[in-house]
């Protein structure tokens, strides 16, 4: 098998299981963080540093929201079980300045969590691992889009960076922003972010003191409120058609 076909095959396999990669990032990051707390080598960065980490993660979520909110149905979705899906080529909005905005958003979301380790070498390793993993997924996606859309895709992709956006204003999105699509597709982002920060907070406190005493911290309230909102939206999605929108 030629390398180009091998890379595409690897990308398609990794695409199907891409929802599980966060487990690896969480386990490895939490391990580094726990070890540094135990070894008393974790720097005293204070609450403000954690807020910076949260801001980086939420920036990634905003990138995803901007990308998904302006796209039609069957593009920029969570198509894990279906494989590649693209009824239309996204070319406006954030797609006019970068080819893979969703993976950029994912990277920033996980970078915010990875920064909690306060370990430069872990951040380097995380970035390298993320790039190697998602580079193959991006390769497979682009091969699929090139076969499906042909010359229009090649013309669009010719001057769009794969991952780091061009420093220019994006083209006005073809579709208006759909809050319903965001509530339906991206409802778990904030809850997941606060949940991960709360896990790190609990683990750190337990290792420091040998026990964990519940405290209604900022991270607890962020996780509790965002989880309640997530469950409400999930119930609405399953029980009603309030979040349904034709063509989106």
| 45 domain residue, yes or no | yes
User: What is the tens place of the pLDDT at every residue in 48-60?
Assistant: 999 999 999 999 9
Q: According to the model, what pLDDT value does residue 5 have?
A: 75
User: What is the tens place of the pLDDT at every residue in 106-139?
Assistant: 999 999 999 999 999 999 999 999 998 888 889 8
| 197 domain residue, yes or no | no
The total domain count for the chain is: 1
| 87 domain residue, yes or no | yes
20 lies in which domain range? 3-176
Q: According to the model, what pLDDT value does residue 80 have?
A: 47
CATH number of the domain encompassing residue 48: 1.20.120.1630
- Asked whether residue 97 carries a pLDDT value surpassing 90, the answer given is yes
| 185 domain residue, yes or no | no
What is the distance in angstroms between the CA of the first residue and the CA of the last residue of the chain?
A: 39
Nearest to 157 by CA among 101, 98, 103: 98
């Amino acid at each position: 098998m030629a390398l180009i076909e091998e890379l595409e095959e690897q990308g398609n396999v990794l695409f199907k299981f891409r929802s599980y990669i966060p487990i690896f990032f969480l386990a490895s990051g939490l391990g580094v963080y726990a070890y540094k707390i135990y070894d008393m080598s974790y720097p005293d960065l204070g609450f403000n540093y954690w807020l910076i980490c949260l801001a980086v993660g939420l920036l990634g979520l905003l990138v995803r929201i901007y990308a998904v909110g302006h796209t039609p149905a069957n593009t920029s979705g969570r198509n894990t079980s279906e494989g590649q899906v693209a009824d239309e080529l996204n070319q406006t909005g954030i797609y006019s300045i970068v080819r893979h905005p969703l993976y950029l958003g994912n990277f920033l979301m996980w970078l915010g969590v990875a920064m909690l380790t306060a370990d430069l070498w872990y951040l380097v390793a995380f970035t390298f691992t993320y790039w190697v993993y998602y580079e193959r997924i991006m390769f497979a996606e682009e091969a699929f889009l090139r076969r499906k859309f042909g010359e229009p895709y090649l013309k669009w992709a010719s001057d769009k960076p794969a991952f780091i956006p061009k420093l220019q204003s994006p083209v006005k999105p073809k579709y208006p922003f759909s809050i319903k699509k965001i509530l339906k597709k991206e409802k778990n982002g904030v809850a997941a972010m606060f949940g991960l920060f709360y896990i790190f907070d609990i683990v750190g406190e337990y290792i420091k003191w040998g026990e964990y005493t519940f405290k209604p911290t900022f991270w607890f309230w962020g996780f509790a409120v965002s989880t309640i909102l997530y469950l409400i939206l999930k119930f609405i999605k399953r029980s009603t058609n309030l979040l349904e929108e034709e063509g989106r």
